[in-house]
Structure 1
Amino acid sequence: MSKNVIFLILLFISLDGFAQDINELYDEARKSGNLEIAEKVKEVAIKVNDTRVLANTYYLIAYIHRKNENFYDAVLNYFKAIELYRELDDKKNLSSVLMNIGNIYTSSGFKDLSLKYFADAVSLRQNNHDSSGLVYTYRNIGSVYLDTHQLDSARSAYGKSLQIANAINDKTGAAIAYNALGTIFEDKGQHQKAREYYKLALDTDNSISMQARVLNNVGYSHMQEGNPQLAMEYFDKALQLKADDIEGRTFSILYANLASIYEPKFPDSALYFYEKSFSYLKDQTITLGADYFQTCYKLEGLYKAKNDFTKADHYEQLQYEFGTNMMKLQDELKSLNMQYQVEAATWRTKSDQQAAELQEQNALLRLIILLLVLFFTGALIFLCLYYRSRKQNAFVYERLTEAYEPLNAFLESKGAGRAN
C-alpha cells in the first residue's frame, strides 16, 4: 500500500465525522481512481448517513471495477447506486448507471438484455429532457442492433441519435452517427452510399480520432469491393496520424484489417499485424470480447501453420480461458438481471402509484379551485346585481322626487297662512 493511500485512510479516520471532509475525500477518491480510498469513503458515508455521497461512491466503486473488467462486482455496486439514486429521485445519474450496466451486458453477450437497460435509460432521459444523454443512448441501441445484424432497427436508432445531435449542435455525436450509418450501408453492400456517409462524418468532425475511424472504414469499404491496394493506402494514412489521439480499438481494427489482406499470401506479415492488433486487446478481453477471441483464433491458426505449437497452444489457451470466464460471468449476470427486473418492476409500480395519487390530488385541487372560482364568480354577480338594483331604486326615488316637487310646491302655496 502506498504512503499516499495510508495517509488518506488515516485522514478519513480522523475526519470522517464531517460532511465537508467526506465530500473532499470523495473527490480525492474520484480523481485517484483508487479502490481502497473509495471503499473507505463508502464506510464513512454509511456512518454519517450521507445518502448523496454514498450513492456517488457506489457509482465510483462500480466504475473502478468496470475499468478493471471485474464486471460482476461492477454491476453489484451499480445496483446499490440505483437504489440510492431512486431514493434521491436523481434521474440523471440513474440513467447513467443504467447505461453502464447496459454496456456491460452488451460486452458480455447479452444483447437483448442490454436493450432493456437502454430502454429504461431512454425513458428517464426523455422525462428529464436530457438531449445529450439521448444522443448517446440511441447510439448504443443502434450499436446493439448493428452487432446483431438488425440493420433496419440499427438505422432507425442511429437516425434518432443523429436528429437529436443536429438539434443541439453536437458535432461529435452527429459525426459518430454518420459514421455508423455508413457501416450499416456497408453491411448492406452499398459501398458508395457508405462512403458518402463517411464523408459526412468527416465533414462534421475533423478530429484525429474521427479521421482514423473514417479512413479505416473507407479502406475496409474498398477492401470489400476487392481493391486491397487502395484499402491499404487508407489504412496507412490512418496509422500516420497522431497516435495519442486515436482510440486503442481503432488501432486494433486497423492492424487486423491489414493482417487480413496479407494473410492469404504473406502469413508472416499477417502474424505481425495480428500481434499488433492483439496488443490493444489483451487488457480488454471482455469489453472487446469478439475482437479478442477472433484475433486469438487467427494467431493460433497462423502459428500452427508455422509449426510453432508453443505459441499456438498459448493462444488456444487464451481462447479457452476467455470462454470459461465468459460463461461464469454470464451465469452471474443472469441472476443479477433477474434481481434488477424485479426491483425495477416494484419501483415502477410504486412510481405509478405515486403518480396516480398525485393525479388524484391534482384533480381534487382542480375541483377545489373550480368551486372557488364559481363561488367568487357567483358572489361577484350577486354584488353586481345588488348594486344595480340599489342604483335603480335610487334612480326611481330621484325621479319620483322630481315629479312630486311641483305638486308639493303647489300644495304648500295653497295652504299658506292656514293654522294646523
Structure 2
Amino acid sequence: MTMTNAVSSDSSALRIIPVSGNADLERFIDVQNNVLKSDPVWISPLRVERRMHLSAKHNPYFQHARWQAWIAVRGNLTVGRISAQVDALHLERYADATGFFGMLDAEDRAETFAALVATAEQWLRAQGMRRVRGPFSLSINEETGLLVEGFDTPPVFMMGHARPYYRDHLEACGYRKAKDVLAYMVAPNFAAPAVMQRLVSIHSERIRIRPIDLKNFAREIALLRDIFNDSWSENWGFVPFTAAEFDALGQNLRFLVARDLIQIAEVDGEAAAFIVGLPNINEAIRDLGGRLLPFGWLKLLWRLKVRFPGTARVPLMGVRRKFQRTRLGSALAFLVIDAVRVPLHRHGAKQIELSWILEDNIGMCHIIESIGGIAYKRYRVFERELDAD
C-alpha cells in the first residue's frame, strides 16, 4: 500500500519510523503542512528551502551536530514528526549533557505526541544526554521555541507556528518552561521618544551609521559575525555562529536583502553594532503552497523586487558587550533600529517584526516598547531531565 501524508482520525496502531533516505525526508517535510493546513493563518514554507535546511551538504550546522528524525504513521497516513539533535558546540561550551528536540508537529492526539517525544528522548539517552530542551529547528540560531501566544496571526519568515494543543500535549509529557522569547511588531513610522533623542544627541559625534559595503562583502559578513557572537555571548543558551554558518547566511542575505537593509554602527571608527532587516518572504509565498515550480519563482521575484511585502522582519541585531548596559549602548540599539526602519518604510513595509527577544532582556524590551512595539507572539523553550534507562 502506498503511504499518503495526512492528519488522521484512524484508530489503527501507531508506528514511529526513523527517517532514512529521500522518500522519508519528503514525508517528514510534508507533515507540518498537512497538520497545519486547515489553520487560516498558516503559510507553507518553500520545500526547496526545507530540503536545504535539512541537508548536510547545504547546512553547515551539521558540521558540528548530529541528528535523527522520525515520522509517526497510523494506518496508511503520516500523522506526526520530530527530530533530535546533539550539538557539539553547545556541549563544548556548557558541558551539561543537554540534547535537543525540534520540528515537532502532530495530530491532536496525546498518544502521538507521547510516542514521538519518547522516541526522541530514547535516542538522546543513547547519545549520553541527561537533559532535553526544545523545540529548536534545528538550533537556537534558527527557529526557536514553541508558539504559546499569538496564534491568530501568520508566522513571519523563519519563525515557527503551532496549534494550542501542541503545548498541552508537550506538558503532559513532563516538559516545563525553560525560557520564553518574544516577537515584537512595530510600525516603521514611529517617532523617537524624547529620552532617546537626548541620548543620541549626547553621543552623536562619536557614532557613524553606514550600510554594508558590498564591494567587500566577505569581510563585512565576517565583521557582522564577530559583532553577533560577541554581543550575544552572555545570553541564555548562546551557541556561536561558525564562520561556515554565517557565510551561508550571508549568501542568502545577499540574494534577499537590499544594501540599505544591513546597517552597521561605528563608535570612534570601531564597528560596534549592526542590524539586518529583510522582507517577510512568507507574505510573498503565501499562495505558492510551498512550491516554486512551474511559475512560483517568477511570482516570488516580482513580489520581492517590484511589490515589496507589507511586512518585514529584523532577524539579526547586536551591540558589542562593552557597550551593553550603558547609555551609549542604548543609543546604538536605537540608532541601528532607526537606520533600518527608514528604508523598510520607504520600500513599502507597514509593519516590522523584531524577533526573537529574550523575555528577560529588559533593556531591549524597553527600547522596543518605547517606539511603540507590541509583544504580539510568545515562543516557549521547554525542557526536562531524562531519566536513566
Provide the TM-score with structure 1 as the length reference.
Answer: 0.28
Provide the TM-score with structure 2 as the length reference.
Answer: 0.30
Higher share of residues assigned helix:
1
Larger relative contact order, structure 1 or 2 (CA cutoff 8 Å, min sep 6): 2
Larger gyration radius, structure 1 or structure 2: 1
Higher share of residues assigned strand:
2
